[in-house]
Amino acid sequence: MGKTQLAETKDIWHKIAKYHTDEDETIEIELYKRISNLFHVGDFYYFIFNCPLANVQWAHESVKEVLGLESTEDFNLEFILANVHPDDLAYCLDFVREVTAFFNQLP
């Protein structure tokens, strides 16, 4: 994956950042864990993506086992984009642009 695709993806996500506030957010992670355990079959992981910063803010420990990573820190935007099939990358970027367009048209 080229650096330009990573930079372009970050630029797209930063456009949503105008809706970000610096207020502390409470995440009810225990509730999400219970819900995830009810509906997922097999190994899974979940993570929190911070759009304004265009980075993975937090990843569950199971990301290491599922994806064979040494550390949860290795699961980042660059890793995600590097593992999107090259034929699908343009489609993914178009999807991200559409999400951004949606958020930007909100009052």
* pLDDT tens digits in sequence order for the chain, 107 residues long: 556 888 888 777 777 666 555 444 555 667 767 777 777 778 889 899 988 888 999 999 999 999 999 999 999 999 999 999 999 999 999 998 998 899 889 88
Asked whether the CA dihedral 38, 44, 83, 76 is positive or negative, the reply is: positive
Q: What is the pLDDT of residue 1?
A: 52
Q: What is the DSSP string of 17-69?
A: GGG---S-----HHHHHHHHHHH--SS---EEEETTTTEEEEE-THHHHHHT-
Full-prediction pTM beyond 0.85? no
